[in-house]
Amino acid sequence: MLTKKLPTLQSFQVLVSRYASQLAHQQYDVIVVGGGHAGTEAAAAAARVGAETLLVSQKIQTIGALSCNPSLGGIGKGQLVKEIDALDGLCGRAGDWAGIHFSILNRRKGPAVWGPRAQLDRQYYREFIQSELLSTPRLTVLEGSVEELLVTEPKPDEPGQHRVTGIRLANGSQLVSASSVVLTTGTFLAGSLFVGQTTVPGGRVGDAPSSAGLSHTLKERLRLRMGRLRTGTPPRIVKESVDLSLAVLHPPDTNPTPFSFLNKQTRCKPEEQLPCHLTYTTPGVEKVVKESLHLNCHIHQDTKGPRYCPSIESRVLRFPGRQHQVWLEPEGLTSELLYPQGLSMTMPPEMQLSLIREIPPLQRAEIHTPGYGVQYDFVCPTQLSPALQVKSTQGLFLAGQINGTTGYEEAAAQGLWAGVNAARRALSMPPVTLSRTESYIGVLIDDLVCRGVTEPYRMFTSRAEFRTALRPDNADLRLSLKGFEEVGCVSSERYQEALRVKNSLADALAALQDLTLSRHNWRKMLPDVHISDAKNSVLNGMAVLQYNQVSYEMLASCFPEVLCPFVEFSQRLKIEAVYKPHCDLQKKEMDRIQKEESMFLPQDIDYFSLPVSLSQEVREILDRFRPSTLGAATRLQGMTPAAIVHLLKYVKQTK
């Protein structure tokens, strides 16, 4: 079983305050502001790369807190968790530690789009993250609120280029300097909370918003384009007041699949996992929503909310007369609360109670904490480079919800990458990028910096053109090797394991390719499999493994000497075989994109005087977004194929 000695919150607090007294006027390589999903990954990644790192967050006890749903992963999001883990990030291992209900979503589809997901114990998750941060060398944690960013004005030889030099903390105006600062303030930037007709400043229930000074620096001094978004959370319900026998039982997978490539099992034993339950709204729910509309100011705001995680008010108003799903999910192994996924709402608390009681299992339910909405400022992410650095401010990196995304996994992925690049900058190493041909993290960052956001951005498998190659099962091979050899954020232990896997898979694939038999002989060997007739009379083991009915174990029992040594990889080999034809076909397209990604566009080009044939509109787009590569330019909205050809010619000439 997975075991680990976790510190108590008290010991974490003691350590943090001991550091705090030594901080004044210290110089760090990297300062990370905010201890949410982006901030914790950023701080840990920066320290792994080798930077002396300071993580400052408003409250120690909320470091690693799950603000909303106690779950991790899912379709598209599970891929991000696997990739974060492959880069030695925290959330995959934290998920294995805190998971209390594991399931692979989308199993009816191919393994490329399976979504590993787990319901989590909130407290276990937070404790694991805090414990990891404590044991990370070169990382100091400080409780405090950052009041202001310290930035220098642009120099005459670098017009428009500010440079960050550190932070100023609230209470005592303590200054801390650093070469790089990563801002990960989530929903806290100019945050306002909404319930019924009441609005109060806040970043999350029980937490104050980020100080006005921070927003002021971003908007007024750095002149960054900002926008406003919103999200919401459901009421938490007292478990013993719910009649779960009236809902449909959804058990977890019998054998929990860990997120982390380093874990063979999860902390929670299979039989200790808790079930979820499914129920539905009734016409009564719609009635309460409509009757309370005039008392619900959040729903009337123009601000964009998360389209794929809408409030019950939005669902009912958009699709009247329908039944909507409500998942009743445990909040922890011993928690007294249930999380009703699908019932995010912002009406007055007494109406929230009336609404939930219209749902049969919740007829006598009691609310522990009412649902609420939050609105916050975000920075338009097209102002960032693919390293997540603000293009106009050297050393300032942004990650997470502040970039207009929603979700823990999206935040954690950006955090890790911003932390890596912040550390590399501080240590005078060149920035690193991830292409959309090699990872979902690359897709996420590319979408943000090239296309921007008009509503809270979340990951889907459909966003990744090369999803059959970017599978959850092979994230280690795609990223752990690069993470160690080129990026510097992966431990040698993980690297050695990824190498072992890579070499074993290569040997196994070679062994399968070498097993060349006539179709007739394969039929004799596998009588229950319908091996088709075709022109080529011989087939190798790889081609046979592509048949639905054939498992690696079946082939290993036919050729035990050659194939049994690799049986630990049987599922991965089956998946490799199934996707090989498709991945081979996509290779050409991936190569083309990789080539374009390697053609850098200088950041100081004057697009208006470029001596090539480009329309004024295209010049304006290029000037506004300043794509860093030709590949990024191709994905800007409004770019024409002709403009790309001219730009390509120009890049080739100037090389």
Name the residues that contact ligand FAD, by CB under 6 A. 33-39, 56-59, 62, 67-69, 145-146, 184-188, 203-204, 207, 210-211, 214, 231-233, 306, 309, 344, 374, 400-401, 406-408, 411
Element (H, E) at 16: helix 9-21
Instruction: In angstroms, give the least distance from the CB of 310 to ligand FAD.
Output: 9
Contact indicator for 270, 255 with CB cutoff of 8 Å: yes
When the beta carbons of 139 and 309 are compared against ligand FAD, the nearer one is 309
Question: In this complex, which beta carbon is closest to ligand FAD, that of residue 79 or of residue 231?
Answer: 231
Q: How many CA atoms lie within 13 A of 594 on its CB side?
A: 11
Nearer to ligand FAD, 306 or 332 (CB): 306
Residue in 39, 135, 127, 50 with CA at minimum distance from that of residue 413? 39
User: Residue type at 640?
Assistant: T
Q: Which is nearer to ligand FAD, 214 or 543 (CB)?
A: 214
- Residue among 74 and 258 whose Cβ is closer to ligand FAD: 74
CB burial readout 325-340, b (16+ within 10 A) else e: ebbbbbbbeebebbbb
Q: Report, in Å, the least distance between residue 369 CB and ligand FAD.
A: 11
d(CA 172, CA 267): 43
Tokens 């406003």 belong to residue: 228
For ligand FAD, which is the closer residue by CB, 68 or 477?
68
Closer residue to ligand FAD (CB): 74 or 395: 74
Q: Write down the least CB distance from residue 311 to ligand FAD, Å.
A: 9
For ligand FAD, the closer of residues 326 and 550 by Cβ is 326
Burial class (CB in 10 A: 0-12, 13-18, 19+), 622: buried
Closest separation in Å from C-beta 31 to ligand FAD: 10
Give the nearest distance from C-beta 321 to ligand FAD in angstroms: 24
* 406 vs 439 by CB, closer to ligand FAD: 406
Q: Who's near 319: CB < 8 A, 6+ residues apart?
A: none
Helices then strands, counting H and E runs in the chain, come out as 22, 23
> Closer CB to ligand FAD, residue 257 or residue 346?
346
Which CB sits closer to ligand FAD, 177 or 491?
177
When the beta carbons of 28 and 408 are compared against ligand FAD, the nearer one is: 408
- Whichever of 57 and 634 has its CB closer to ligand FAD, that residue is 57
Cβ pair 32, 39 in contact under 8 A: yes
Q: How far is the CB of 410 from ligand FAD (least distance, A)?
A: 7
**Which are the contacts of 566, defined by CB distance < 8 A and separation ≥ 6?**
504, 505, 507, 508, 511, 552, 556, 573
Dihedrals φ, ψ of 355, to 5°? -65, -50
Smallest gap from Cβ 35 to ligand FAD, in A, equals: 4
What is the nearest approach in angstroms of ligand FAD to the Cβ of residue 180?
Answer: 16
395: left (phi over 0), alpha (psi -120 to 50) or beta: left
Q: How far apart are CA 538 and CA 109, in angstroms?
A: 30
227 forms beta bridges with 378
Q: What is the spatial distance between Cα 646 and Cα 634, in angstroms, rounded to a whole number? A: 12
Nearer to ligand FAD, 171 or 245 (CB): 171
Minimum Å gap between C-beta 254 and ligand FAD is: 28
Smallest distance from ligand FAD to CB 376, Å: 8
Closest separation in Å from C-beta 69 to ligand FAD: 6
Strands 53-57, 27-33: pairing kind = parallel
Between CA 92 and CA 476 the distance in angstroms is 12
- Tell the smallest beta-carbon distance from residue 231 to ligand FAD (Å): 4
Q: Which two tokens stand for residue 353?
A: 């109670």
CB of 62 to ligand FAD, least distance (A): 5
- CB-nearer residue toward ligand FAD: 59 or 250: 59
Among residues 18, 6, 45, 111, the alpha carbon closest in space to that of 427 is found at 45
- Per-position DSSP letters for 519-561, written without gaps between them: HHHHHHH-TTS-PPP-SS-EEEHHHHHTSTT--HHHHHHHSHH
**CB of 531 vs ligand FAD, minimal distance in Å:** 46
Residue 9 CB, nearest approach to ligand FAD (Å) = 15
What string of DSSP letters covers 419-461?
HHHHHHHHTT-------TTT-HHHHHHHIIIII--SS-B---G
The amino acid that residue 465 corresponds to is: E
The sign of the CA dihedral 416, 419, 425, 429 is: negative
- For residue 391, what are its two tokens? 């293009």
For 54: left if phi > 0, alpha if psi spans -120 to 50, otherwise beta; the answer is beta
Place of tokens 């904490």: 369
